[in-house]
């Protein structure tokens, strides 16, 4: 029953044209999963491309390039998403402070 309320709350927030409630903090986990999956697919593509060129390039991409690209991509995504969360939490905290001041 609680899951149904969460889904209803999500869709209510999604179609809230006054933007009084935010969905970003709810979907950020899904976005992070998508970023990690994209990084994994990109790393796999780099490895496949390397082996299609030559065995040496493939091994180099497998050992050095693909893991480095994966880590940089995931770290960048994490930092970007954390910045977004911080901005939204600042906004929520300021709203709470404003309500307490009234």
Tell me the CA distances in angstroms from 100 to 18, 58, 85, 87, one per residue in order: 22, 60, 22, 20
Check: pTM over 0.85? Answer yes or no: no
Q: Model confidence over 11-21: pLDDT tens digits?
A: 777 777 777 77
Q: What pLDDT digit, counting tens, does each position of 54-94 carry?
A: 999 999 999 999 999 999 999 999 999 999 999 988 988 89
Buried b (16+ CB within 10 A) or exposed e, 83-96: eeeeeeeeeeeeee
Q: Is residue 19 part of a domain?
A: no
> Would you say residue 33 lies in a domain?
yes
User: What pLDDT, in 10s, does the model give residues 10-55?
Assistant: 777 777 777 777 788 888 999 999 999 999 999 999 999 999 999 9
Inside any domain, residue 39: yes
Q: Tell me whether residue 73 is in a domain.
A: yes
Q: Distance between CA 54 and CA 91 in Å, rounded?
A: 52
Is 102 within a domain? no
Q: Is 28 in contact with 84 (CB distance < 8 Å)? A: yes
Which residues span the domain enclosing 40? 24-95
Residue 6 lies in a domain: no
How many distinct structural domains can be found in the chain?
A: 1
Domain membership of residue 44 (yes or no) is: yes
């Amino acid at each position: 029953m609680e899951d149904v309320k969460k889904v209803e709350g999500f869709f209510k927030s999604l179609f809230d044209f006054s933007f009084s409630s935010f969905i970003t903090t709810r979907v950020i986990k899904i976005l992070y999963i998508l970023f990690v999956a994209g990084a994994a697919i990109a790393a796999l593509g780099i490895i496949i491309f390397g082996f299609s060129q030559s065995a040496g390039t493939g091994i180099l991409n497998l050992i050095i390039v693909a893991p480095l690209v994966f880590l940089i991509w995931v770290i960048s995504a994490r930092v970007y998403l954390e910045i977004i969360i911080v901005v939204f939490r600042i906004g929520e905290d300021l709203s709470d402070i404003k309500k307490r001041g009234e």
